[in-house]
């Protein structure tokens, strides 16, 4: 199946009040697992590469080529997205490589500077037919930043979207990145107010810290794109630890990375069910 645009997945889901799973990729096994899980669920999915993952690999192009190839070979619609880019240069690289969307994150800047920087990226990306997500109200936990009290103001969010022209907005409603426990407390009333004020789909970052029932409630209250990373890493690492613990002499990486990939695929299928992701119709 040809690679699908992010907007083609997210926009109809927002209209139908359904969630879309957006899962971060670090190694090739992550991408393969996410697509296998989506195929088992019969649902579309978004593969995400973050600026941190690019830094880990040393460059965007090699891992991007692998992820794009996995997306194009999938039996369900798969979009490829650049996550949490703070560099306009990295955004330009992603556009050139064929990503269908980018998330430009200038949320750490003062409001007006965030608007100016984001609007400039949107103008360039839209000229290339690329969908743009931005963030307003810094979500805690990224790169050591923790702002548990941060919340996005609905009026400011509406102004931000109108001024910048972004296609989706990540908002701060109680989550934090890289949580190892699933006990984040979401402000569902704020999610509903943001949904009423903002004309583009809302994005929930830090979703690994949210319990299943609250993820479903977040979607019901107005969230559409739901970003999940740490939860997959936790499942992957748990499977690898189990295999290595059972056989301390094991050295063949395929023997433990394979079970990690299988475990992540099952978790993706389960999470897509929690989010109510739309079933792909033939």
Residues with catalytic function: 83
Parallel, antiparallel or unpaired: strands 168-171 and 101-104 = unpaired
> Token pair for residue 135?
């963030």
To 5 degrees, how large is the angle CA 243–CA 249–CA 255? 40
């Amino acid at each position: 199946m040809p690679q699908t645009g992010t907007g083609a997945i997210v926009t109809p889901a927002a209209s139908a009040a359904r969630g879309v799973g957006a899962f971060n990729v670090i190694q090739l096994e992550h991408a393969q697992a996410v697509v296998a899980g989506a195929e088992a669920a019969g649902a579309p999915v978004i593969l995400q590469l973050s600026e941190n993952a690019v830094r880990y690999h040393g460059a965007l192009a090699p891992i991007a080529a692998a992820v794009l190839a996995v997306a194009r070979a999938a039996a369900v619609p798969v979009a490829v997205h650049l996550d949490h880019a703070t560099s306009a240069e990295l955004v330009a690289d992603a556009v050139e490589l064929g990503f269908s969307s980018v998330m430009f994150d200038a949320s750490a800047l003062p409001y007006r500077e965030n608007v100016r920087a984001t609007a400039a990226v949107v103008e360039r990306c839209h000229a290339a037919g690329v969908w743009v997500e931005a963030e307003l109200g810094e979500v805690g936990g990224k790169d050591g930043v923790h702002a548990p009290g941060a919340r996005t103001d609905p009026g400011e969010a509406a102004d931000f979207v109108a001024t910048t022209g972004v296609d989706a907005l990540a908002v701060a409603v109680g989550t934090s990145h890289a949580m190892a426990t699933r006990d984040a407390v979401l402000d569902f009333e704020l999610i509903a107010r943001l949904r009423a004020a903002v004309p583009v789909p809302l994005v929930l970052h830090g979703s690994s810290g949210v319990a299943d029932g609250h993820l479903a409630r977040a979607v019901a209250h107005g969230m559409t794109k739901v970003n999940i990373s740490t939860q997959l890493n936790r499942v992957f690492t748990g499977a690898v630890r189990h295999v290595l613990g059972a056989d301390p002499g094991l050295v063949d990486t395929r023997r433990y990375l394979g079970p990690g990939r299988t475990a992540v695929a099952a978790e993706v299928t389960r999470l897509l069910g929690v989010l109510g992701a739309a079933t792909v119709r033939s």
